[in-house]
Amino acid sequence: MNKKIFIPILTAFILVFAVSAGFIIKHYTESVKQEALYDSLAEIVETEPDENVEPADLIQYTETKFILPEYAELFTQNSDMVGWITVEDTKINYPVMQSKNEPNFYLKHGFDKAYTDYGCPYVQENCDVQEPSDNLIIYGHHMNDGSMFAGLMKFTDKAFWEQHKRISFNTLTDMQEYEVIAVFKTFVYSNSPDSFKYYHFVEAENEDEFNAYVEKCRELSLYDTGVDAEYGDKLISLSTCEYSRTNGRLVVVAKLVK
């Protein structure tokens, strides 16, 4: 090969390799950083609370409820925290945030409010966690390293659901469990009749509207869980990206166990 041609090609190859290596190193470093951050938060939450805590030391959150001791320290670090979500046998073990004035803030910011592509699981701005709303929509990224809400993909396997029928979503004031009703795929940002805009349903105006949402979720479900919900039940809809189609989403819908 002519030397004059070879040198520019080699230079371009080295440049492409260097840029690619830089991206890989950057993503790896960020992955390690985020894992360390959320592992440290989980350690705080999982530490046995002091049994000798006096009522006067508790943080009042509403007129009638106090923040659970295990979440008090994290709440003082970031008052946008509204709960904690856990799904066994996945990496889902995270604080859940809500920023009503900046609705998608935690799409690109972590618990520490620093910018990151990992974000942090967060509740849609028009949902009321404490009331709660009829349907709490919680978003989380589908990260390639299996973190954030990537673990929801395991629910596409019925065998996994059979061993993990319940999800823990605790508010700051109450320990709660939800039973999975449906697991479905859809796509968003489209006027197609095949696009199910699950994120529009937050409060049911009446029983028919509630039943219609549940019925649609079960109709789209990848398998029949045999679990239904009735008007008055409280739901969560966990949403993450699903890459089999453009703007795809995977949603796991569950009802509060009373």
The answer on pLDDT for 46 being more than 80 is yes
Average of per-residue pLDDT values in the chain: 91
55-69 pLDDT per residue, tens: 667 899 998 999 999
pLDDT at 14: 64
pLDDT at 192: 83
CA distance 208 to 134: 13
Cα–Cα distance list, 124 to 21, 149, 201, 211, 230 (Å): 36, 15, 11, 21, 23
Closest C-alpha to 84, from 177, 152, 165: 177
Closest C-alpha to 196, from 233, 224, 221: 221
Q: Is 137 helix (H, G, I), strand (E, B) or coil?
A: strand
Tell me what percent of the residues of the chain surpass a pLDDT of 70.
86
pLDDT at 139: 98
Instruction: pLDDT band for 23, please (50, 70, 90 cuts).
Output: low
pLDDT at 83: 98
152-169 pLDDT per residue, tens: 999 999 999 999 999 999
pLDDT at 190: 80
Q: Does the domain spanning 46-256 belong to CATH 2.40.260.10?
A: yes
pLDDT at 168: 98
